[in-house]
Amino acid sequence: MVVELPQADYSWLRSGFVLRTEPDGAVMLVCFGATPYVKRRLEMWITSKSWAAVTEEPYALFDLVMDGLFSEVDATSWKMADVFRPIETSILQVAKAGFPALEKHVDFIGLHNCLKHIIYLNEAVASCLLVVDAIKATTTSTASIQLPDSLSHRRSLFTSTSLRLSSIQQRVENTIALCFNLVSQQDSMMMRHESMVMRQDASAMKILASITVIFLPTMAVASILGSQLFLSAVVVAEDKDAQEIVEVKTSPLFNILWMFAIPMTLVVMVMAIGWSWYSHVTFPKTSDEMRRRLEENQRVHPTWVMMLNDRFEKAKGGFKRRHAV
C-alpha cells in the first residue's frame, strides 16, 4: 500500500539546449525536454518574425531560453509561497489557541516537503545564474550592447527570485522553530500533569500506609496468639421459667494482647514518621535536580524533534555542498 504524503512531488524537469552556427550564417537551436514556458517564449519570438538579429547574435536564442526558464522558476516559487502560507497560518493559529492536539493541526510532513522543494528551487536558480554568467563571458566583444544588457536584466530577475526563495526558506525555518517550541511546551505541560497525578496517587498511598501502620501490629499480635480473646458461657437459671443467660468474659490473653500491641504500634509509627522526615530532609535536592534535568531534556530534545532537526540539517548541508562545488 502506497502512502500519499502531503506536498510530496518527486517529478523533475530536465532540459538541454544545444546551439549551433554555420559559416553561412545559419543558426540551429536544439531543445531537449523544453518546459512549456520555454516553448511559449520561443513561439512568441517566432511569431514576431525578428529573425535577422539571430544571425548577428546567436546567443540571443539562449537569452530567450533563459527568459522561459526564469518564468518557470518564478511561477514555481510563487506557488511554493502559496502552498506554505496556509501551513504557516495554521501553525500560528495553533500557537495562539494553546495548541490542543498539536499533531492533528500541524502538517509536519508537508512542512518538511516545502523546505525540501525550496532548497531544490534555490539550487535551480543558482544553476541558472551560472549559465547566464557563462553566456555573458562567452559572447564576443563585438556583440551589440542589447544582448549584454538583456543578460544582465535576466540575471537581476534570477537574483530577485533567489532572494524571494531565501525569504520563504527563512520563514519555513522560523515556523519549524516555532513548532519545536510548541512541542516543547506541550511536553512540559504533559509532564507537569503527570507529576500532579503522581502526587495524588502518592497521597492515596500515604493514607493506605497510615491505616496499615495503625492496624497491622494489632493484627499481627492477634494472629500470633491464635486463641480466642473472649470466652462465652451459658448460665442455666435455677428457675425453670427463667431464660438462659449467656455470659461473655475476656480471656486472660486479652490483656497480654494490648501489652504487646500498643508498644509495637507506637514503635512502628515512630519509625514511619522518622523515615518520612529523613527522606524529606535528605533527598529533595537530588530529586528536584533530576526532575529539572529530565524536563529540560524532554523540552529541548524530544525524540521526533531530534529526527526532524537532523533531516533539515542534512538537507541544508547538502545544499551548501552543492553550491560550494
3-state SS of the chain is CCCCCCCCCCCCCCCEEEEEECCCCCEEEEEECCCHHHHHHHHHHHHHCCCHHHHHCCHHHHHHHHHHHHHHHHHHHHHHHHHHHHHHHHHHHHHHHCCCCHHHHCCHHHHHHHHHHHHHHHHHHHHHHHHHHHHHHHCCCCCCCHHHHHHHHHHHHHHHHHHHHHHHHHHHHHHHHHHHHHHHHHHHHHHHHHHHHHHHHHHHHHHHHHHHHHHHHHHHHHHHHCCCCEEEEEECCCCCCCCCEEEEEECHHHHHHHHHHHHHHHHHHHHHHHHHHHHHHHCHHHHHHHHHHHHHHHHHCCHHHHHHHHHHHHHHHHHHHHHHC
**Domain ranges (residues) in the chain:** 16-183+303-324
Residue 2's pLDDT is: 44
- Per-residue tens of pLDDT for the chain, all 325 residues: 444 555 556 566 778 888 888 887 788 888 888 888 888 888 888 887 777 777 777 878 888 888 888 888 888 888 878 877 777 777 766 666 655 555 566 667 777 778 888 888 888 888 888 888 888 887 765 556 677 778 888 888 888 888 888 888 888 888 778 777 777 777 777 777 777 777 777 777 878 888 887 887 777 777 755 556 666 666 665 666 656 666 667 777 777 778 888 888 888 888 888 887 887 776 545 555 555 655 665 554 444 445 545 555 555 555 444 444 3
pLDDT number for residue 227: 59
